Amino acid sequence: METLKEENQAVYLYFKIAEAISKGRTKIATTANLVMVHTYFEIGRMIVEEEQGGEKRASYGKKVLKFLSVKLTREFGKGFSVENLDRMRFFYKSYSIPISSTLLTKLENKPKFKLSWSHYLVLMRIENVSERQFYEVESSNCNWSLKDLQKQLNSSLYERLVLSRDKEEVIRLSKEGQTIEKPQDIIKNPLTLDFLGLEEKFEYNETDIELAVISKLQDFLLELGKGFLFEARQKRFTFDEKHFYVDLVFYNRLLQCYVLIDLKSEELIHQDLGQMQMYVNYYDRYEKLEHEKPTIGILLCKKKSDALVELTLPKEANIYASEYSLYLPEKQLLQQKMVEWVNEFEMRM
């Protein structure tokens, strides 16, 4: 018996040590990556300042990079090709403080990098500074992998969030990322379901889409955003001796409330809104606990009319309609909508 106890203690000690080693190695790797990113930024700075101080012809810059590439590769090994050195130069130009700024401002606002070099290779190609800052903050806050970042960028997450928010909330996006503080914060227009892999040539009904979502639940949760927990599909409740079914039931731990989602494969009609209002009322009266916030209802539809939604629902309704796209939306089209949205907002002011 004593031997078994000692063995259990040894096993417990082993797991504690193994965990400490794993955390230590992860921290070392993370620190090494950040040091590398800062080093590349400094290399980019030195190259840019040398070019500014010397000849301004393009041929001069090319010769410098070729010379540096040969010497640095011979001394430090791979990673210093002409192409990589050019990326470091571009990296510095993308993240440096404008030359007109004071020295004090430059020192105070020196970039504090938190992501890997691979992340910044993607980020520094984003021309819109606010958009770039948004993806950088979200990558850090949500611990996005490079694959996650590329997916969200390809799905035009920034543009879709901008089109779902007011002017002040848009300004917050680039500074804080996607904050979840109120029901409206979880809405995207449109919601992209390209990860379902549904063929473009077919027409799909609600059941087809629902089954596809369940089979790709992890991707769907990523698209929904922060704090979502899945509870059930086709959740049945009985009222007045009749059965009703909610397509998808989630719980958001940040908002501390139920989120009910109904899928509509056609254009949204007022009966759909009334049905969701009944679902939300039921959950608020019979499922919600005292400490929880009011239930949110979301109708994902192929097409919606904002005027119809506004006319049908009372102003205090916690129900939202959002269009979905089974395929990646065109980035240029969303950017054009953003311009129209900004112009419309400024006209109201």
Nearest CA among 258, 129, 261, 126 for reference residue 188: 261
CATH, domain range 191-328 = 3.40.1350.10
What is the rounded CA–CA span in Å between residue 261 and residue 259?
7
Cα dihedral 55→61→62→66 (10° resolution): 110
Q: How many helical (H) and strand (E) elements, i.e. helices and strands, does the chain have? A: 14, 6
What was the pLDDT predicted at 56? 56
- Tell me: cis bond preceding 190? Omega within 30 of 0 counts: yes
Residue 35 has pLDDT above 50, yes or no: yes
Residue pair 191/323 in contact (Cβ under 8 Å)? The answer is: yes
* CA dihedral for 142, 147, 149, 155, sign (positive or negative): negative
Residue 120 has pLDDT above 90, yes or no: yes
Nearest CA among 27, 24, 56, 61 for reference residue 44: 61
Residue pair 257/288 in contact (Cβ under 8 Å)? The answer is: yes
pTM of the model: 0.64
Q: Where are the domains of the chain?
A: 2-114, 126-183+333-349, 191-328
Sheet holding 242-252, edge to edge: 191-192, 319-325, 296-303, 257-267, 242-252, 228-239
What was the pLDDT predicted at 97? 64
Residue 309 has pLDDT above 80, yes or no: yes
Rg (CA), the chain: 26
What was the pLDDT predicted at 184? 81
What was the pLDDT predicted at 104? 46
Residue pair 42/85 in contact (Cβ under 8 Å)? The answer is: no
β-sheet bridge partners, residue 181: none
What was the pLDDT predicted at 240? 84
Residue 11 has pLDDT above 90, yes or no: no
